[in-house]
A and B are shown apart, each in its own frame.
Chain A
Amino acid sequence: MPPSAPTAAHALTDVTASDSSLRRFLHGLPGVDAVGLEARAASLGTRSIKTTAKAYAIDLAISMVDLTTLEGADTPGKVRALGAKAVHPDPTDRTTPTTAAVCVYPDMVAVAKEAVAGSGVKVASVATAFPAGRVALDVKLADVRDAVAAGADEIDMVIDRGAFLAGRYMKVYDEIVAVKEACGSARLKVIFETGELSTYDNIRRASWLGMLAGADFIKTSTGKVAVNATPANTLLMLEAVRDFRAQTGIQIGVKPAGGIRTSKDAVKFLVLVNETAGEDWLDNHWFRFGASSLLNDLLMQRQKLATGRYSGPDYVTVD
């Protein structure tokens, strides 16, 4: 084990004492009832959220968005535009809350930092050779340090899915611990890429592994694969953070990312949060949406509630 163990001096410290104890713990987690999980997620998705509750949910969702651009073609101009949008999502209505953060590649952190300066919007940076994570640990750590040095408030790391699927849990654990250390005061989000983990059981194991290793947030996906955040896998992770807090007293955030495009979807996720983890998570310190196009739909819905008229894409920015 690396010298700096996770901060948690909690009930589960023994679990990470050795490779075999970690494996025993993760495989001892109860199996996931896949049908039950999906049915539960689907039934919570049928709640009808209207009028004032809807207005509250939309504003809350806007304040939880990590406005993201992770393209090879990102330019400083695009990042600045994104920053401006994060600070004033709807320039025609200054009562619109700011988004939680902008999420960019490490080399764009400085630009993003400047764009959101003084607004309270955080800058998150993906690191550790996002999205594949297929490089040596030294390179990953250098990537993280680079982003932190440039001023990133939050780091989104990817786990080594190859090692995880091969059953080398300790390697994944050690990596997260090392990255957490490199983050310093920056909050660490750990991306599992749930679409590549194949089973719900694996998602549950990964969630616990990430939390044991000191993640501040657990995040579903990179947005770069076919299957991204779904209500079911987010529900599973919300159950994990709930149970983790019950056992250790440590609260950990959840961030579904990718594939959430409409206000309706976002509100469904908020229902999941409220009904699973509870109200304590209904805050952008503990729950985020990794999204880009979602924000425009939220703004159009917000305009609809304010004016009574359906809005259209002509009235939000093209990004």
Chain B
Amino acid sequence: MSEKTETTERLSVFKTYKLYVGGKFPRSESGRVYEVTDAKGKWLANAPLSSRKDARDAVVAARKAFGAWSGATAYNRGQILYRVAEMLEGRREQFVREVADAEGLSKSKAAAQVSATIDRWVWYAGWTDKIAQVVGGGNPVAGPFFNLSSPEPTGVVAVLAPQESSFLGLVSVVAPVIATGNTAVVVASEKAPLPALSLGEVLATSDLPGGVVNVLSGRTAEIAAPLAAHQDVNAIDLAGADEDLAKELEIAAADNLKRVLRPQPVDYSATPGIDRLTAFLETKTVWHPTGSLGASGSSY
């Protein structure tokens, strides 16, 4: 202390980053952690090093949450996702700092990233009750039937978040998955997991039911292998896998005919379009008999 005052220097409050599984914040079942550094190699925090059992627990949580989340009205899902954006806005400072550290950006560039991320979240929140009109609808058929197609969520989706874009990339792959009613097990960027783990804290305070999004940190290859082979995972987004890993995971995923979204070069700052929304949708088509047409020519 430069001046002789009675004030003492404050002890720093280190944050213990934890996983986000089933609405709770557990440590890794294995008890392991690994060191997370900033872009220059300076230590930032210890993050949990998840094991395959954490992956299994996350899938159980995601499956449990699927019924209620997919059954919620699209409007309600939209409201909840918008609420997430509101909460993100309130934590701006923290995310700017974490993104700047993780990606080695200046404060203003990091702030721009965070703004883009929040906007991205709002953008997907708006899609929840509109996607059905775009990819579903009434089909003209030759017969006395109503024929309706409606998009249905695929189920539990394993999401390997992009390795480089720790926050904008993360949200760009997670938000479309849950917007349509899927539940997600997210494997955070291996070397920059902190924004993802903090996102868990935001989700926990946003009315998002526990288990809809589960965030795991650790070695992507280690966690992704059991997820890709897991019989109760319905789809996998390989955005964060390199070429060799992606091939391996796609082979494992073929076993129970998972939907696979292959890694592709993406500019996360560009407007995303609805490809990621439709990647994890299935189409249910209903034939509804209208009965014989009356004398007047129409029964409805």
Chain A residues within CB distance 8 Å of chain B: 303, 308-315
Contacts and interface: CB of A to CB of B under 8 A. Distances in A.
A312 B230 contact: yes
A311 B232 contact: yes
The 9 closest A-B pairs by CB, nearest first: A312-B232, A309-B229, A310-B230, A312-B231, A311-B231, A310-B56, A309-B231, A315-B231, A310-B226
Interface in B47-82: 56, 59, 63
Contact size class for B?
Answer: 10 to 19
Which among A308, A310, A311, A313 has the greatest number of chain B C-beta atoms within 10 A? A310
Contacts of A313: 63, 232
A309 B255 contact: yes
Contacts of A311: 231-232
Contacts of A314: 231-232
Contacts of A315: 231
5 contacts: A309-B229, A310-B230, A310-B232, A312-B230, A312-B231
Nearest to B252: A309
A308 B229 contact: yes
Given A310-B59, A312-B233, A313-B63, 7 more contacts: A303-B231, A308-B229, A310-B56, A310-B226, A311-B232, A314-B231, A314-B232
A315 B232 CA distance: 9
A307 to B, nearest CB: 8
A310 B63 contact: no
A310 B255 CA distance: 12
Which among A303, A308, A311, A312 has the greatest number of chain B C-beta atoms within 10 A? A312
Contacts of A310: 56, 59, 226, 229-232
Interface of B: 56, 59, 63, 226, 229-233, 252, 255
Nearest to B59: A310
B232 to A, nearest CB: 2
Which among B56, B232, B255 has the greatest number of chain A C-beta atoms within 10 A? B232
A308 B229 CA distance: 9
Contacts of B255: 309
B75 to A, nearest CB: 29
Contacts of B59: 310, 312
Interface of A is mostly: loop
A312 B258 CA distance: 13
A31 to B, nearest CB: 38
Nearest to A313: B232
Contacts of B226: 309-310
B31 to A, nearest CB: 13
A314 B252 CA distance: 18
Contacts of B230: 309-310, 312
Nearest to B228: A309
Which among B56, B59, B231 has the greatest number of chain A C-beta atoms within 10 A? B231
Contacts of B232: 310-314
Nearest to A311: B231
A101 B37 CA distance: 57
B167 to A, nearest CB: 30
Contacts of A312: 59, 63, 230-233
Contacts of B231: 303, 309-312, 314-315
A288 B226 CA distance: 33
A308 B59 CA distance: 16
A113 B56 CA distance: 38
B229 to A, nearest CB: 4
Which among A308, A314, A315 has the greatest number of chain B C-beta atoms within 10 A? A314
A312 B63 CA distance: 9
Contacts of B56: 310
A120 to B, nearest CB: 30
A309 B226 CA distance: 7
A313 B233 CA distance: 11
Nearest to B232: A312
A313 to B, nearest CB: 7
A77 B289 CA distance: 31
A191 to B, nearest CB: 31
B260 to A, nearest CB: 16
A182 to B, nearest CB: 45
Contacts of B229: 308-310
A314 B233 CA distance: 10
A313 B67 CA distance: 14
A216 B59 CA distance: 42
A48 B56 CA distance: 18
A315 B230 CA distance: 12
B250 to A, nearest CB: 15
Which among A309, A311, A314 has the greatest number of chain B C-beta atoms within 10 A? A309
B231 to A, nearest CB: 4
A282 to B, nearest CB: 27
A301 to B, nearest CB: 11
Contacts of A309: 226, 229-231, 252, 255
A183 B299 CA distance: 66
Contacts of A308: 229
A23 B124 CA distance: 72
A309 B231 CA distance: 7
B67 to A, nearest CB: 12
A255 B255 CA distance: 39
A314 B230 CA distance: 12
A303 B56 CA distance: 14
Nearest to A310: B230
A9 B232 CA distance: 56
B169 to A, nearest CB: 27
Nearest to A315: B231
B1 to A, nearest CB: 49
A311 B232 CA distance: 6
B63 to A, nearest CB: 7
